[in-house]
Structure 1
């Protein structure tokens, strides 16, 4: 398992992903992309095995650069921006301090979801994690 965080602008993520796949002689079937999703409520995780970009510029760049859409994605719900706020500013900005604890729980669950997917398969991970994460203690 190799974790890569492209240092390019998000809408050019595909350049880095394509180079990594070429370097390791891998294809889209070996790729897992973890990305934010405005259409999922904050605290939701959703695996998707193929498909379009859903309006996500980074995913669009990856699809265009590798010439395929049959890679696994783990979408991490961030919810919609407040009314009147630019979506790009919302997703590129820092999370409010008031959400930091919840964010850490979401990221812990995302990490666990990837681990389960690698060890037990996509279907098991989907069944276990495609629900709202309980953000409150307990």
Structure 2
């Protein structure tokens, strides 16, 4: 098995979804790609991929944005894990999380999917739930709004002003997880 990390930004393809809450995972991947100077290329596994390192001599990263819809993310993720010979315990899913307040980031290994169809499809395709998750808080829908409707809406004007900081923090959390492990990343980001 490779010592590389597969970091997957979950979201939906197309410009109509680009600025929605559901695509915050892909926004974080774009930030990581920009930090490393990486350029996306289309991979046969139906994903946009950047092969890079956080720093010279650092661990190898495969940053990936599936080009499928959220609920069919598993195929591209599984295909990339096989192609790059990366075990599930070196896969990191970066995704929106309605059960966490907007502007908070939480990390975990394994566990349930909390109704998140992208995670459910990833777990099924990888054959395990034991992969890392960087959960980017987008807050709960207001009133009785359906969760699916809420996550497909753009961030509010107030949230949009804070969004760059949230994306930056989530990218930092991915870097901390890769460099220092889950416990240190949780201690740093869960205390905020």
User: What TM-score do you get using the length of structure 2 for normalisation?
Assistant: 0.66
Aligned length: 132
Equivalent residue for 1:86? 146
- Which runs of 5 or more structure 1 residues have no equivalent in the other structure? 133-138
Contact 1:45 1:131 in 2 (8 A): no
Give structure 1 regions of 4+ aligned residues with deviation exceeding 3 angstroms. Answer: none
Contact 2:74 2:126 in 1 (8 A): yes
Task: Compare the two structures and name the one with the higher helix fraction.
Answer: 1
User: Shift of the alpha carbon at 1:41?
Assistant: 0.9
Q: Distance in 2 between matches of 1:57 and 1:85?
A: 18
User: Shift of the alpha carbon at 1:131?
Assistant: 3.4
- Which runs of 5 or more structure 2 residues have no equivalent in the other structure? 1-60
Cα offsets for 1:60-108 (capped at 9, x unmatched): 0000111111101011111111113221121122112221121111111
Q: Distance in 1 between matches of 2:67 and 2:157?
A: 25
Q: Distance in 1 between matches of 2:191 and 2:122?
A: 26
Cα offsets for 1:89-130 (capped at 9, x unmatched): 211221122211211111110111111122222211110011
Q: Distance in 1 between matches of 2:170 and 2:191?
A: 12
Q: Distance in 1 between matches of 2:111 and 2:158?
A: 34
Structure with larger RCO (C-alpha < 8 A, sep 6+): 1
Contact 1:45 1:129 in 2 (8 A): yes
The aligned runs of 1:21-36 (5 Å cut-off) are 21-36=81-96
Q: Distance in 2 between matches of 1:49 and 1:83?
A: 31
Task: Compare the two structures and name the one with the higher strand fraction.
Answer: 2
Contact 1:44 1:131 in 2 (8 A): no
Equivalent residue for 1:125? 185
User: Shift of the alpha carbon at 1:24?
Assistant: 0.6
> SS at the partner of 2:134?
strand
CA RMSD of aligned residues (A): 1.1
Match of 2:107 among 34, 47, 67: 47
Q: Distance in 1 between matches of 2:122 and 2:71?
A: 9
Q: Distance in 2 between matches of 1:96 and 1:124?
A: 32
> SS at the partner of 1:4?
strand
Q: Distance in 2 between matches of 1:51 and 1:30?
A: 15
